[in-house]
Structure 1
Amino acid sequence: MKRITTLLALILLIASAPAAGSNYDIPEVSVNIQIHENGTATISEHLTYRFDGSFSWAEANIAKEGFSEIRNIRVSEGNWSYLNENTEEPGTFSVSDRNNSVDIRWHYSAQDTSRTFTITYELTDVLTIGPDHSQFYWHFLGSGRDKATENFTATIQLPGSPDNSEIHTWGRVSEDRFSISIDDGTVLAEGNQLSRNETAAVRILFPTAVLDTESVSVTDSDFTLAGVAAEEEDRIRQAAERAERDAFYASITLEVTIIISLLSIFIFVLLYKKYSTRFKTKTISDRESLIIPDQTPPALSGKLINHHMITGHHFVSTVFDLARRGWFVIEEQKPEDKRENGWFSFEDNSKSKFIISDSDETPSDDLNLYEKETVRFVKKQISEGVSEFSKLLSEGGYKTSQWFSGWQKSVKKEFDKLKWVDKESYKAVGFNVAGQLVLIGASIYILVMGTEIAMIALGITFLMCVFSFAMVRRTESGEKAYRRWKAYAKGLKNADKRTVRMEMMDRHFIYATAFQLSEKEIETLIGSTDQSASFIFPWIILTQGSIHTPASVASSVSTLAASGTNSFSGISGGGGAVAGSAGGGTSASAG
């Protein structure tokens, strides 16, 4: 039960990263649009930037929708016009034609100040022209832009100054933050506190008669005021239904979140108690010990205490153990002196290299499946010229990676023979994963349909799913073996010369490698002896006159083991306006 409590306590440790503060914002956006009798439009966008820090460029991205051509692009600031030069010098701008947008970038120098830039351009074919009514339908702010907008205004001057009663308008933002008024043939749209995901769109219908019939022609003979009014009524109805649905889900999100979270924890605890409760082993002491519990090979005991993972450390410890038993010889190669490399640099070759070679004699002891595979692999590497220990695992690329995957399976087969893992506990893993995935799906659904509070349910169900690995329990014999080997691993970490049997030091080193003790811990372990390195490691041949101590040998070889493991683990424009579609949608940024 203590284990369950520990796991569940992790749920409360939710780290939240602080949101990065904005270095600039665009609080004011003002747009002036003049629609001409020939169906073109001149648009001027006034963007007010508020800078906190140093900035040198800004960019506006105009979506290529709702018009056929954009031309006469200009950038200005007050009475100063920027030059269309692609030099990135202050006072210049450039235009890029992308697949879905026209990008306008201008350059300046600003620091801790406010500046208002004006982008002016002309568009063709911005109107949907029907027999009796024509439409201008435009997105003034692009959804998903970098910054929110505090205040927005748009003035649309229609051609011919039609009577106010002949102008029909619809907005696309909540009425409490967006308003549209009409005065003497001019439409004024105003909005405030528009989030970066809100697009300020206005749909305007006016009499086709005000256009120049010699310059324009009907583009949609089926386009009518009645049809648009019906579309808008349907949109408003759908929006009301959506708002009602959103309000319903928002009202139940908290309760559903609590239910999902409690159900997720209940499923985990229920399955854990039924299938995964640890066996009691009161007769086995968990006090640290330096007595090797039994003759279990290092790779298998390492897998037992390392969360059942099979890593490169287990392979390296197996090679060490085979060398200790006479299958291989590990020999120190005399270091070369530092040699000059270039005019003023030197390459350090003073560190010892350890070479592995085949033994002249074949030991008589029996090998298990993965040990036989290790012998064959190492012999093959040696025959192909890969004899330096640090390169033993890093050479071979995909073939080595593929071989190691098979080797891991062989280790698992030998491990399974010991019957240290309760196969019934895997049922709990399967049931829990299945149940938690269903709840994760429910959490995602309520998060999408409801409010952000459903993130709590999503987080808890995800953690309960991840914690499935903790449901794999050991058998009674496996639990006893685990406690013995865990006590031994603790003993290796805290060993001193008063407790270590010197004649067993090389085996201690091999198991320490399998248990993934740190280099410092291994140095401390081996440093507790007064014996020579050749006495401690008879299966490692040192060069004549070697200055290595047992601790330095262990440090060097364990470093090679780690490097070999790390090396190995790395293998592993649009076509004009359309009746029901809005054009435009400018997004601005700065840098």
Structure 2
Amino acid sequence: MRPACRRVRHGDARRAARRGSIRLGPRLPSPVPAGSPPSPWPTPVPPAGPRPALRPAPAAARRLPLLCALLPALLLALPPALRPSGAAAAKDYAITALEIDARLAPDGGLEVSETRAFDFDGSFRHVHRTLPLREGVGYDQISVAEGGREYDEAPSGEPGTFRVSRIGDELEIRWHFRARDEARSFTVRYRVRGAVQLRDDAAVLYYQFVGPGWSRSSRSVEVRVHPPAPLPAEEIRQWWHGPLWASSAIDSGGTIVARCRLLPARTFLEARVLYPPALFPGAPAVPGPAREQILAEEARWAEAADRRREGAARAREERRARARAGRLVSLLLGTAGAFAWLLLYQRFGRRLDAAWSPPHGATGEDPGPAFVDYLMHGRQVGGMSLVATILDLARRGFLVVREQKVEERGLLGSQRAGRDHVLEFRRDRRREDAARLRPHEEELLRFLSDELGRGRERLSLTELKGKQRALAAFVPRWRKQVAAEAGELRYFDPDSLRGMSLGIAVGLVMIVLGVGVTILCGPWGLILPAAGTIVCLLSLAMPRRSPGGEHEYRRWSALREALKSAAAGAGPSGDLLARIDANMIYGLVLGVGAKRLRALAAALPAASQSSFPWYAAHGSFSGAGFADGFSSLVATAGASLGGAAGSGGGASDGGGGGGGGAGGGGGGAG
């Protein structure tokens, strides 16, 4: 005889939740508002059995807020070695397999054996399983086992015990154990009274074997339903509700076998089976026929499931076709965008050859530290440019930097000697040599003397710390002014700047097209936004220096290396020593590093005092004293201006169940 086989009809969670509220008894039609079309999901005869749901124990729920409030303090009180790390504190579990063996009895009862295989990640102490309590449905003969070991029913909560308790309208089975990072399997057995209803023309089993209360998916599910006595498959009509990909068959003895490769979380799996009434002489009787109505309902549901299945198949095929098209389009557009960028780079980004290499070092016609910073750092003006420009103005006679000793407050109110630096403005020099000032230098002097200094002759650098709001408004504007002035020097090839803009435009077009391809064709379209982002970033490095800019770049690069070598060796000499004051100031924006500049200053001979007429040291001049003073000056200026200029502290180097009623279930581990 040929086994009967049916695909499982997909269940709807809302419909399942509605059915879960129906009591056992004669079928009643679903209420429909007047004038509304009839629902395509008529309410079936409710199945009998457990419909568990996840629910914390009431005592634990009451203690939860208190525990949450005390947990941080408890963790801080623990020794560091005993505090749980993030990895140790996290835990999770998976249900790798579920095997259900259900045997029907002539009195309409159902003996259920559920074996769940858990994979624990972390420490766990219990698992709970809840069964719904409904009129006409009861449970008895409850037991828990692990392997060949039976758990004892006891309220102690000790490992190897379980307890059964009523919580609201549910029966909770909770068993205790100790597990850490291991796989364990548990078997729960119980008997359902009143699982089968005896109608005039059929015995109806409507049971939810897996309910929507489980918060974890089950990777493999197998359900076997045995009749009270062997019978031919032709005498059984069976339907399964749940995922569309589940399947079922009837063997020669009348045992129904249902399998589901992956049962998602919060998804039910249930059966509706019609048996010959003679098999269940002791089942509770419900007057009236049911067979024809059930056949009509299941036929409608099967047609709807087939339509959804066919629609899902068409949608999958369409997605595959779009994915193939998206892959091709993404590869073609990505290749075209990359090729376009390479052409732009060949045209605008290749470095110009500069055959002449000028000597290193500052000269009498230096462009100024801010312009050198703009050149050396790819059209960016850093925060240290502001500090270096102030020192360069002092070197050129527009300021005097005076070092003075101050008392600083230390820990516990102690006093200690410290340094402060005062800027003394030479307004007469500023008026006489105004033509020697670049616009951004004139603006900086105006800001320091008139706005921050309020017309005074002196301004302490420590005062700047209290004027961060004014600095925050001035510094970005000053940087833009420097960049605009430096642009007139044509350090960078204007054509390469246009090439950068074109490259960024190519990248943005790739990103926009990639978003559209991703929406229409799926993940293959993400290739384009990723490639477009790379193109935009590479385009930012496309601007090339002009021949004059390349010459200047090499000159200042040579000075940077000379300063580093002098700091690591015996100190400055020759041309480097001749203009050591300017060279050290430019070293701030060249990235020589605070430690190297301090070592360089410490190696200066005493005769070098004449090189720093703009720096009025406290006391007699010495190399070590000047090194400390210069380092303190840079650190103080950097700290005072750092909040607004971003310079830091100085220079640096770097279903609900388908039929309602009984059955189903949920649970969790903890």
Alignment TM class, shorter chain as reference: 0.5 to 0.7
Partner of 1:299: 370
CA distance, structure 2, for counterparts of residue 521 and residue 50 of structure 1: 59
Aligned residues: 508
What is the letter of the counterpart of residue 502 of structure 1? Answer: L
Matches within 5 A, 1:166-181: 166-169=237-240, 171-172=242-243, 179-180=247-248
Cα 1:334/1:191, change in 2 over 3 Å: same
* Deviation for aligned residue 1:570: 6.7
| Partner of residue 419 from structure 2, selected from 343, 347, 353 | 353
Partner of 2:461: 389
Partner of 2:582: 507
CA distance, structure 1, for counterparts of residue 309 and residue 452 of structure 2: 74
| Partner of residue 55 from structure 1, selected from 115, 123, 135 | 123
* Deviation for aligned residue 1:51: 4.6
Partner of 2:31: none
Q: Deviations over 1:343-384 (max 9, x none)?
A: xxxx7x757433333436442332333223322333333459
CA distance, structure 1, for counterparts of residue 117 and residue 626 of structure 2: 71
Is 1:333 the counterpart of 2:405 in the alignment? yes
Cα 1:588/1:322, change in 2 over 3 Å: farther
Contact kept in structure 1, 2:211 and 2:657, CA below 8 Å: no
Partner of 1:480: 551
* Deviation for aligned residue 1:179: 4.0
* Deviation for aligned residue 1:259: 3.2
* Deviation for aligned residue 1:449: 7.2
CA distance, structure 2, for counterparts of residue 429 and residue 61 of structure 1: 64
Matches within 5 A, 1:178-193: 179-180=247-248, 189-192=258-261
Partner of 2:439: 369
Residue 169 of structure 1 aligns to a residue in which SS? Answer: strand
CA distance, structure 2, for counterparts of residue 258 and residue 446 of structure 1: 11
CA distance, structure 2, for counterparts of residue 91 and residue 363 of structure 1: 94
Contact kept in structure 2, 1:173 and 1:198, CA below 8 Å: no
| Partner of residue 615 from structure 2, selected from 525, 531, 540 | 540
Stretches of structure 2 that go unaligned for 5 or more consecutive residues are 1-86, 103-111, 131-143, 164-173, 190-203, 228-233, 275-282, 288-295, 649-654
CA distance, structure 1, for counterparts of residue 642 and residue 128 of structure 2: 47
The CA RMSD measured in Å over matched residues stands at: 5.9
Cα 1:523/1:469, change in 2 over 3 Å: same
| Partner of residue 475 from structure 2, selected from 387, 404, 425 | 404
Cα 1:460/1:569, change in 2 over 3 Å: same
Is 1:30 the counterpart of 2:105 in the alignment? no
| Partner of residue 380 from structure 2, selected from 309, 312, 332 | 309
Residue 355 of structure 1 aligns to a residue in which SS? Answer: strand
* Deviation for aligned residue 1:268: 1.0
Residue 464 of structure 1 aligns to a residue in which SS? Answer: helix
Stretches of structure 1 that go unaligned for 5 or more consecutive residues are 1-19, 35-42, 63-75, 94-104, 121-131, 215-222, 342-346
Cα 1:114/1:259, change in 2 over 3 Å: same
TM-score by length of 2: 0.58
CA distance, structure 1, for counterparts of residue 439 and residue 176 of structure 2: 69
Partner of 1:497: 572
CA distance, structure 1, for counterparts of residue 494 and residue 285 of structure 2: 84
Cα 1:168/1:477, change in 2 over 3 Å: same
Residue 317 of structure 2 aligns to a residue in which SS? Answer: helix
Cα 1:436/1:224, change in 2 over 3 Å: farther
Contact kept in structure 1, 2:352 and 2:546, CA below 8 Å: yes
Partner of 2:604: 529
| Partner of residue 352 from structure 2, selected from 250, 274, 279 | 279
Contact kept in structure 2, 1:370 and 1:410, CA below 8 Å: yes
Cα 1:536/1:267, change in 2 over 3 Å: same
CA distance, structure 2, for counterparts of residue 253 and residue 551 of structure 1: 64
Determine which structure has more spread, i.e. the larger CA radius of gyration: 2
Greater mean alpha carbon deviation, residues 433-442 or residues 504-513: 433-442
Residue 279 of structure 1 aligns to a residue in which SS? Answer: coil
CA distance, structure 2, for counterparts of residue 516 and residue 296 of structure 1: 17
Residue 422 of structure 2 aligns to a residue in which SS? Answer: strand
What is the letter of the counterpart of residue 26 of structure 1? Answer: A
CA distance, structure 2, for counterparts of residue 171 and residue 312 of structure 1: 65
| Partner of residue 560 from structure 1, selected from 636, 640, 643 | 636
Partner of 2:594: 519
Contact kept in structure 2, 1:329 and 1:357, CA below 8 Å: yes
CA distance, structure 1, for counterparts of residue 512 and residue 126 of structure 2: 41
Cα 1:231/1:527, change in 2 over 3 Å: farther
Matches within 5 A, 1:240-259: 240-248=313-321, 258-259=331-332
Contact kept in structure 2, 1:279 and 1:475, CA below 8 Å: yes
Partner of 1:550: 626
Cα 1:77/1:136, change in 2 over 3 Å: closer
Cα 1:563/1:279, change in 2 over 3 Å: same
* Deviation for aligned residue 1:473: 2.9
Contact kept in structure 2, 1:32 and 1:45, CA below 8 Å: yes
* Deviation for aligned residue 1:84: 12
Residue 374 of structure 1 aligns to a residue in which SS? Answer: helix
* Deviation for aligned residue 1:270: 0.8
Q: Deviations over 1:207-263 (max 9, x none)?
A: 9xx99999xxxxxxxx95455334322322232223323444555676555534432
TM-score by length of 1: 0.64
Contact kept in structure 2, 1:142 and 1:586, CA below 8 Å: yes
Residue 419 of structure 1 aligns to a residue in which SS? Answer: coil
CA distance, structure 2, for counterparts of residue 520 and residue 135 of structure 1: 79
Percent identical across equivalent pairs? 21
